[in-house]
Chains A and B, each alone.
Chain A
């Protein structure tokens, strides 16, 4: 039994140290992060208050019990007392916890109400979860929208490369928000239930397919904040992180403008690619790049897949037979069974490249080439 009390003391020390040492944005490996918004600080305080109340209750109850275990042992000649009922005591230890509970409920309710501030926000961002990535759309700047995927290399996950500092917590395109402004997140999903969680903002909201949820934050300090999907959403649930960069308002608007120009340029580039044919080499190089980010987790680097849940592409009918080219493209655009739809995530030239790649890699040497305009025909009917 002593071991437990030693353990408890150790834990209490760990907690009190971290409580003193943590500044606002510092990451603790043992405790909740205080976070970077007023609400997250409130939640942190609430958590610590609850924690200490629980510690005190624990120490009192276990203290009495351990005292009894030491003092009332038969081996030291203790004779059992006769009492086994006392209504007054029973009433007392029903009422005292009740009072403690009310003391706990009060600050909890206040924080909860503050979290549901529905006043108008400065920035609204539509967050859409899908297997296994996040999509962000700036509602006030409709041109700015992008997918955010895990950026950690497969080789790191498979222990072939050394793991980087932000292993599994890094994405190709982070979400960017301004500091000092109310940012509202509208959260929804394209397939199963996901949950958008950024601990530093104290936001965790489920993304329910067909339904919309709301959360907001007002970040005090610029910085990079990392989170993860928190609801089991299938095979790669552990591999869909969230990265949010908070920038000062001026920097933020510069970034936003850049994104808008980039979006226009990307659109022009897409149009240009539609008008021309890429060579086999270009398609294969581009295709491998796309395959390694979008397809490799299920269909594997050697195209062998993980059958039967994730079929092999190597030697498959869809990827080998000429008449199946439209089917092949359609699966990538619209998804099929367990396979998610990539029509919104990949550009038309990327889809063309990856289809070509899959038809020519791993000994699938069909020689088939698919161009962006073929994909355009399927997506836009023109």
Chain B
């Protein structure tokens, strides 16, 4: 892949460039009215990071309460609010906006487009997001507290047995949904219509591919979530009985609808991570990605399969054996394309010329730890064993392995990888290494022992536990606090990077980095590819 000399064209039109720079408003208004994909990407990433810290603070409350048996810090009702809002914030406030931020920054640069296809909608889709979370967080201060029914808000706990703040919860989920849908539409339109000449589908970087598929998943399932919360709202406040047996409804139907959204949602949070890892591993192996085409097909098949496995979250609700078998086999099947991806990454590293810069360290940690999460997922697919694992800390360990050491680690890897391109300066490498090693050790201390308490019989979402779980929970909590503190290193590093402290970097930044975004200057100019590059 190579491009025409874009930069020359850009430089030769100096007057034009200056003209643009002149029109960037300063201060708060710049950020409020910006339609520039790079600005909006930055906004998304900062928002996600702040939400990550807020949701993390809630996790600290949870781990402090669970540090030893007995009730010490919070009452059980508040504990339930913490687990609920922690889940909602991390899923909808941290991981998803972070990926959208990365898409905003990178997709146009990777396909040679000047901006996102619908810049004004882009501004809207970001700016409604803070309000959604203000509403959600403010509900915690309402009479009766915020939502306390788990992020999965199972009926009838969320309908007949919840507080009035449920209305705020529903409203905020609606806004989050609208924001994600607008973001997804923007990504799809950008990728379909705005590719530079010669950028055929099978030449697109995998990050673009995985985001295209993710965006389609979002468009397909976010409306289903909107439908589910709307039904909860009408059941609670307007006398319908979608989920109330007394009125001919069925509480189990809620779970079917929720997980019809929920399982693709899981892949929404991991497919872009696959794209990131597929960009980083080849760079630091100095070798092309192994099996590009099979990566694309694997991503697509994971996305398709994600629509027919939802009921594996519901094995204990009482299903006919035939249905249990179907969902068990379909779920196991997902491990095939997922395995293909892991094998491809390993094959990319095989006989490469490896170096271990900070992004690569996170990427390698991702491959190992995500695979551990994937393997425990395979164990969870086995229905008879799932009866024992379901709703225990084994499940908590599983999804934190795929979401924290999976999705979140991939986001951190991405930030370390592209940050020098965004700021034009190398980040503080020493701090980056500290951040990596502290995070790696503490995150495993935090989540690995959870497998064992889960197997030994500790249910999830409980504020207090039996004595035989005490030792492990203590270590888990220590791991939790350490992981929380480690993120402050990251905060310092990011602030330093944003203040442009550090060594200037070359355009390519990393030896071995390939792709359009590495051919533009560092830092990336405010406007790029105003004239489309040509890809051979």
Contact = CB atoms under 8 A, between A and B. Distances in A.
A243 to B, nearest CB: 12
A90 B459 contact: no
A85 B318 CA distance: 46
Given A72-B350, A90-B294, A306-B75, A46 B333 contact: no
Contact of B467 (A33, A82, A165): A165
Interface stretch (A227-235, A252-260, A353-361): A227-235
B457 interface: yes
B336 A101 contact: yes
Contact of A58 (B335, B372, B382, B465): B372
Given A31-B452, A306-B77, A193 B340 contact: no
Contact of A115 (B250, B288, B384): B384
Contact of B456 (A29, A94, A113): A29
Contact of A199 (B251, B252, B342, B457): B457
A98 B336 contact: yes
A379 to B, nearest CB: 22
B3 interface: no
Interface stretch (A121-129, A166-174, A363-371): A166-174
Contacts of B340: 90, 93-94
Interface string A299-328: 000000010111000000000000000000
B245 A163 contact: no
Interface in B273-317: 285-294, 316-317
A27 B453 CA distance: 12
A298 B368 CA distance: 45
B494 to A, nearest CB: 25
Contacts of A51: 379
Interface residues of A, number: 103
A101 B333 contact: yes
B456 A206 contact: no
B455 A32 contact: yes
Interface string B389-423: 01110000000000000000000000000000000
Contact of B343 (A68, A93, A116, A230): A93
Nearest to B142: A308
Contact of B352 (A80, A191, A238): A80
A43 interface: yes
Given A84-B290, A159-B72, A338-B161, A169 B321 contact: no
B354 A73 contact: yes
B29 interface: no
Interface string A344-359: 0000000000000000
A238 to B, nearest CB: 3
A57 interface: yes
For chain B, give the interface size range. Answer: 35 or more
Contacts of B371: 58, 61-62
Interface stretch (A1-9, A141-149, A277-285, A286-294): A1-9
Nearest to A3: B441
A153 B161 CA distance: 26
Interface stretch (B52-60, B324-332, B528-536): B324-332
A204 B70 contact: no
Interface string A238-252: 110000000000000
B70 A235 contact: no
A193 to B, nearest CB: 6
A112 B383 contact: yes
Interface stretch (A175-183, A207-215, A268-276): A207-215
Interface of B: 69-72, 75-77, 80, 143-145, 148-150, 154, 156-157, 160-161, 163, 245-246, 250-252, 285-294, 316-318, 321, 324-325, 328-329, 332-333, 335-336, 339-340, 342-343, 346-356, 364-365, 367-369, 371-372, 375-376, 378-379, 382-385, 387-388, 390-392, 440-441, 444, 448, 452, 455-457, 459-469, 471-472
Given A3-B444, A80-B353, A195-B316, 4 more contacts: A202-B384, A206-B252, A232-B461, A308-B144
